[in-house]
Amino acid sequence: MISPSSKQMALFFTLLLGSASMYVYWTHLPQNVDAAAPSVTDRPYPLTDLYAQWFGVRELLLHHLDPYGDTVTRELQVAYYGKELDPSHAALLTHQQRFAYPLYVTFLLAPTVRMQFRTVQIIFWWLLAAATAASVLLWARAVGAKLSTATIVVTFAVTFASIPVMQGLTWLQLGLLVAFIIAAAAAAVFSGRLFLAGVLLAVATIKPQMSLLAITWFILWVLGDWRKRHALLFGFACMLGALILASEWLMPTWLQRFPAAVVAYGKHTRVASLLDALLPAPLSWMAAIFVILVGLRFCWQALRQPADSFAFALAVASTLTLSTLVVPAVFQPFNYVLLIPVLLLVIRNWKDLLSASRLSRLGTYVSLALALLPWPLALAVNIGRLLPSFSWLQERWFAPLNATLALPFAALGFLILLQRNAGSQLSN
């Protein structure tokens, strides 16, 4: 009989091997997959998602230009595409490059505006990688997951070799930083530092589409016990007010300019939620209503629970999962770093999931298969690259990317199973 320790070592080895395979797959993807920067100009490195925001801040601080204005947008398009876009370039218009962040992102990028952009890329790659690693540890604390050293190593390997994180690092997506800030806010709430948590949530609004539902949940939780929790809302209001006023001092009327820039960006990128993208209109609405009701149930159960309760952890994880499913513009896989707390909750409660009823165990295995599907598909593509007789597999290079879209559904399945099978913890 195989001992439990041998099974655990075999599982860890399999996960590490899968992570290595996924890394090889990502590093050999066709260049045209990087749709975030489909440049037609020759340069030794891609501009990535970071460039538009960095350039807008640079033009504001060094040349006093409106980052939301036509002049900066035109220069961005020339930098990305070699020429200003016009309606005849329909394919490129779906990736119209423009500054579309709240102006207070300036305070994050200001120290870098006099640097070469290549240097900025290196700095932010390491910053985002460190933020992602810290997110895992912060979420582990926030959801009460006590991880062994071996489990931490494997969790890091799986996280960094996942398509969401590799895509975020390749494109230098500030969403990785926002995910870290939300994790830090949740850990601060867990530790009782409510004012700090509110401050961090205000900073997370640099990407409002990613942070909106999480902030909404935290505000509702504050209202569940106003006397003990009001410091969070006070910290949020103070910090957000300071960011808005400081940005208004930098560029008066930016608040009037920002919504128009967001609308223009959305018009060209055709932003939609994941459910809208996968399902026709009637079915997508029905699915959205269902997942929202599921999320509301989690939140209702946790409204009066303390921050160190299992119910609170489920509520936070459900709001982030909901964000990946129903919020427009949270569609690209890099946003799925918001699902890290679900991963840690599954690790924390894995034995409970496996000791549940036969039907629940089946649901657990189905959710696990959906979550892990990109890894064997990536291995298959790698085999097609190495063995000529299986070259047809390489032509399916898009399969792991498409399979990543199942992650939010797997996360939702896990949350429902955790709520059902670990319900005894809700009073802890």
Domains of the chain by residue range: 28-427
Please tell me the distance from the alpha carbon of residue 221 to that of residue 255, in angstroms, as a whole number.
28
The secondary structure of the chain, three-state, reads CCCHHHHHHHHHHHHHHHHHHHHHHHHCCCHHHCCCCCCCCCCCCCCCCHHHHHHHHHHHHHHCCCCCCHHHHHHHHHHHHCCCCCCCCHHHHCCCCCCCCCHHHHHHHHHHCCCCHHHHHHHHHHHHHHHHHHHHHHHHHHCCCCCCHHHHHHHHHHHHCCHHHHHHHHHCCCHHHHHHHHHHHHHHHHCCCHHHHHHHHHHHHHCHHHHHHHHHHHHHHHHHCHHHHHHHHHHHHHHHHHHHHHHHHHCCCHHHHHHHHHHHHHHHHCCCCHHHHHCCHHHHHHHHHHHHHHHHHHHHHHCCCCCCCHHHHHHHHHHHHHHHHHCCCCCCHHHHHHHHHHHHHHHHCHHHHHCCCHHHHHHHHHHHHHHHCHHHHHHHHHHHHHCHHHHHHHCCCCHHHHHHCCHHHHHHHHHHHHHHHCHHHHHC
pLDDT at residue number 423: 55
Whether 140 shows a pLDDT value over 80: the answer reads yes
Q: Give the residue, 73 or 103, on which the prediction is more confident.
A: 103
Whether 371 shows a pLDDT value over 90: the answer reads yes
Output the average pLDDT for the chain: 86
Whether 89 shows a pLDDT value over 70: the answer reads no
Whether 168 shows a pLDDT value over 70: the answer reads yes
Q: Give the residue, 153 or 115, on which the prediction is more confident.
A: 115
Lowest mean pLDDT across 75-89, 291-305, 394-408: 75-89
pLDDT at residue number 44: 52
pLDDT at residue number 83: 65
Averaged pLDDT for residues 354-359: 86
Contacts of 302 (CB under 8 A, 6+ apart): 221, 309, 311, 312, 314, 315
Please tell me the distance from the alpha carbon of residue 141 to that of residue 186, in angstroms, as a whole number.
9
Whether 336 shows a pLDDT value over 60: the answer reads yes
pLDDT at residue number 45: 59
Whether 138 shows a pLDDT value over 90: the answer reads yes
Lowest mean pLDDT across 57-66, 88-97, 132-141, 388-397: 88-97
With cut-offs at 50, 70 and 90, classify the pLDDT of residue 47.
confident
With cut-offs at 50, 70 and 90, classify the pLDDT of residue 90.
very low
Please tell me the distance from the alpha carbon of residue 212 to that of residue 207, in angstroms, as a whole number.
9
Lowest mean pLDDT across 57-61, 74-78, 168-172, 300-304: 74-78
Nearest residue to 80 via CA among 114, 55, 112: 55
pLDDT at residue number 154: 86
Whether 412 shows a pLDDT value over 50: the answer reads yes
pLDDT at residue number 164: 95
pLDDT tens digits for range 196-253 = 999 999 999 999 999 999 999 999 999 999 999 999 999 999 999 999 999 999 999 8
Q: What angle do CA 50, 99, 181 make, to 5 degrees?
A: 55
Token match 């395979």: residue?
21
Please tell me the distance from the alpha carbon of residue 406 to that of residue 399, in angstroms, as a whole number.
12
Whether 35 shows a pLDDT value over 50: the answer reads no
Please tell me the distance from the alpha carbon of residue 264 to that of residue 286, in angstroms, as a whole number.
28
Q: Give the residue, 94 or 195, on which the prediction is more confident.
A: 195
pLDDT at residue number 291: 92
| In contact, 355 and 183? CB cutoff 8 Å | no
Averaged pLDDT for residues 183-208: 96
